[in-house]
Structure 1
Amino acid sequence: MRYGPVMQPLTRLAVFAQAWPIVIGQALVPLVGIVDVVVIGRASDAAALAGVAIGSAIINLIFWTFGFLRMGVTGLTAQARGAGDQAEVAAALVRTLLLGLAIGAVLLLLSPAIVPLALRMMSVPPSAEGAARAFVAARFFGAPGALGFYAIHGWLIGLGRTRLALGCQLAMNGVNLALDVLFVGGFGLGALGVGIGTAIAEWSALAAGLFVAGRLLGWRAMLAMPRAALFARAQMRRLIDVNIDIMIRTLGLLIMFTWFSRAGARLGTVPLAANHVLMQFVSVSAYVLDGFAFTAEARVGAAVGAGSRPAFLRAMRLTGEFSLAGGILFSGLIVMLGSSLIDFVTRDPAVRTQAVALLPYCALVPLLGFPSWLLDGIFIGATRGRVLRNAAIIATSAYLLTDFLCRRLGEDGVWIALLASYVYRAITLGICLPGLVRRVGRSLPV
């Protein structure tokens, strides 16, 4: 089994070579949502767009509650690779893949009960309820595919095989684009068609990921992996401990973004739709800059596995340089192109006017957000789940308090609270960073 060199010389060129496929792949992740928004926004009214917006928030909350399937396996795989433990590299994938498929199947079985409960909790405007219900119900059919692909995607990043991860995402986005146009533009299925197309695309990504993993590991090795190695007590306990902490962390962050969507819903259909349009810009910025955070995960994890503090510090510094440059770039692009992109995304004049008025807040997100995104990657690579959990709890609590205090400011207050949330996350993780640095290479549990 060949996974590529374990510790390449870490230069800016090496960081870029590893990061650019992740950057492109991460740009494609929100493209799934952007395609949904553009197809609905140009073919339907504000109510349908608002329904997809609130439905997307619900799906993101539920699916990304299990985002530890991507994040946990990246750090564990990178550390096993850095330590030269090839058997554990393979076992980490199979363990997490089985877990993802099982959780996805349970979500699908429970979806008839989850969907109406989620819609009630989100205070969906009556005009958007039908579209939101149809979209969410359809998306649940993709749950096993989506969660299974989380595991494979994280494993490939942990190996540094970022081009293969990009190939899987290209397959998913190509299928999603084609089916959205077919089901909405061709068959007129509206929000339901968007949900069905995205669910099928998620299964396509899983199929592509399984093909890639089979080529890297060998199908016989995957299917005949000894149960003793696969379910070793120490490794299973570590997997569970890390993943539970990351799950709580992810749930805390998802609560923030779901609360943001709910805050827009509280103000009406037009603010909800406008916020959702702007959040596509935020998503692209966050996902692209996460490409450098993911590179940090793999490089930091390998440095921790090898016990090398110099490699750890250099990985942190070089990925930080790229993250800063990316944050400045995306803020500038949103300022220059945001108004034109809003006009392209939606034809509704009220939604356009509201989104343009709020564009300056949106442009600040990449600048204020990149430190927290990079720090997430550093602590995920070091598998410091407890720190991530505690930081998310503190940041989420502070965000909810800020939103409450800013409520009288209306839509401006909603965005001020969101911007503050990124500052809270960066501060809480930054306080813990010196302690992490001291532990690397000192024979202490990281």
Structure 2
Amino acid sequence: MAALPLTRRSILAQAWPIMVGQMTVPLVGLVDTAVIGRTGDAAALAGVALGTTIVNFIFWSFGFLRMGMTGMTAQAAGAGDTAETDALLVRGLAVGLGFGALLVMLQLLLIPLAFQLLAGGADVDASAKPYVAARFLGAPASLAVFAINGWLLGLGRTRAALALQIVMNLVNVGLDVLFVWHFHWGARGVGLGTACAEWTALAVGLVMVAPHLRALRDRARLFDAARMRRLFAVNADIMIRTVALLLLFAWFTNAGARLGATTLAAQQVLMQAVGIVAFVLDGFAFTAESRVGHAVGANSRADLRRAVRLTGEFCLATALLFCVVIALAGRSGIDLLVTDAAVRERAEALLPFVVLVPLVGTPAWLLDGVFIGATGGRALRNAAILSTALYVATDLALRPLGAAGIWLGLLASYVYRALALGWHWPRLLSGLAPWDPA
């Protein structure tokens, strides 16, 4: 497999489809928020926020199917092992569908437990529960699509990943509007729209990767014990890392819920902006995953340094641009999304914290990409556990500040994670050859 050139032009060419595709993800969240928010029902909006947190926590516990797949696929490609790249795709699909089916079977236990842990109040829970139940119908498809996306990103096939993302999000938006505004299904309609979109995306994704499913014929390689052990070893660390970060954001959401439906709804609106920033900057972080994975597969320290430097330049420039845009357009965006006066007022008061998120969060997001590409699961795991523990302590200490303390704690969590991952950087660098192999 041909090596990917390490130039600014090639980095941008690889990153822009991811950025466009990732932008559509929070845009769907914006549509969900607007569809419910324009009904004027603050409890329903807060219910979607709480339900999304629960679903994200459970589904993204299996986010290793995307992240681990990207790093291992990129490394196999960097080493020129085409047969292994195809086998990784099949393994990822099998694991995703299997775990997704397990979630469907266990939902009667998981959903009540989740609502016991997160305090939303009777009105909020009444909207959140049908949303979560509807989303679980899409669990197998959602997890299998994680694997397909990770595989495509590992190979640098970002335009194919973009096409898949656009299909899923367009279907999602269309069904959300139909189910909520036409059929008046409320939060449940939003959940059903997303579940249907996930199954549509899986069907399209399988068509895209069909020529590579030939690995099914090579059973010996596909279920090789050593390769399976590596798959689960890498992914176990990434799963722990993901759960730790999901706990962090669940704590963040629950902190807003403690202050009432108005604060939680305002937080949901502001998190749409945070989501857009994170997802767009993920365009360069995902590119870093692929490029770092290729460098590790080729055992090239020079390529690793250059990949991190080039993606880092783009990340910083984009983050600064987002700071300016949010500062100038944030209030107009809030007014567009919600009609409830109290929610608007609370969101506008907290907007200055959102302005700082792009710049403060960029180092953590970029370093995540670097260590995912290097399949540095242990570093990712330890950094996530440490930053989550420090975040919880910070949030508890800042509770007297109310909603402002909640957002200060979130900003601090990004700093903690970047510092923890940065501490592992010298060890990652020292493990590679200082020159490109001949």
TM-score, normalised via structure 2 length: 0.98
In 2: Cα distance, 1:177 partner to 1:255 partner: 28
Which amino acid is the alignment partner of residue 116 of structure 2? R
SS at match of 2:138: helix
CA distance in 2, matches of 1:176, 1:35: 9
2:260 to 264, 268, 281: 268
Where does residue 70 of structure 2 map in the other structure? 74
Q: Is the CA contact (8 Å cut-off) linking 2:15 and 2:283 kept in structure 1? A: yes
For 1:130-279, what aligned pairs fall within 5 Å after superposition? 130-215=126-211, 217=212, 221-222=214-215, 224-279=216-271
Q: Which residue of 2 aligns with 1:342?
A: 334
Task: Report the counterpart of residue 42 of structure 1 in structure 2.
Answer: 38
- Give 2:113's aligned residue: 117
What's the offset of the Cα at 1:442? 7.2
Counterpart of 2:358 in structure 1 is 366
Distance 2:20 2:5 in 1: 23
Q: For residue 122 of structure 1, report the CA deviation from its aligned partner.
A: 0.6
Counterpart of 1:383 (choices 375, 380, 383) is 375
**C-alpha separation in 2, matches of 1:27 and 1:225:** 37
8 Å Cα contact 1:304/1:441 also seen in 2 = no
8 Å contact kept, 2:164–2:204: yes
Task: Report the more deviating stretch, 433-442 or 82-91.
Answer: 433-442
Alignment partners' CA distance in 1, 2:104 and 2:63: 17
Give the match for residue 311 of structure 1.
Answer: 303
Of 190-199 and 24-33, the range deviating more from structure 2: 24-33
Q: What is the TM-score with the length of structure 1 in the denominator? A: 0.96
Aligned counterparts of 1:6 and 1:131: Cα–Cα separation in 2: 51
Match 2:387 to one of 395, 406, 429: 395
Which runs of structure 2 are paired with 1:282-361 in the superposition (5 Å)?
282-361=274-353
Contact 2:244 2:388 in 1 (8 A): yes
Deviation at 1:441, TM superposition (A): 2.3
Sequence identity of aligned pairs in percent? 57
Match of 1:108 among 94, 101, 104: 104
TM-fit CA distance, 1:150 = 0.1
How far residue 329 of structure 1 moved from its aligned partner, in angstroms, is 1.0
For residue 4 of structure 2, what is the aligned residue in structure 1? 8
Cα root mean square deviation, aligned: 1.1
* CA shift for structure 1 position 435: 1.3
Partner residue of 1:407 out of 390, 399, 423 = 399
Q: Which whole-Å CA distance do the structure 1 matches of 2:5 and 2:147 have between them?
A: 27
Q: Deviations over 1:19-43 (max 9, x none)?
A: 0001111111222322211111112
Shift of 1:76: 0.3
1:89 aligns to what?
85
Partners of 1:436 and 1:242 lie apart in 2 by 15
Find the aligned partners of 2:389 and 2:350 in 1 and give their Cα distance. Answer: 24
**Offset, 1:237:** 0.7
Residues in 2 aligned to 1:13 and 1:442: alpha-carbon distance in whole angstroms: 24
Q: Which amino acid aligns with 2:293?
A: G
Looking at structure 2, the residues matched to 189 and 6 of structure 1 have their Cα atoms a distance apart, in angstroms, of: 50
Which residue in 2 is equivalent to 1:126? 122
Gaps spanning 5+ residues in structure 1: where? none
Equivalent residues, number: 435
> 1:8 Cα shift?
2.7
Separation of aligned partners in 1, 2:100 and 2:355: 35
Deviation (angstroms), 1:44: 3.9
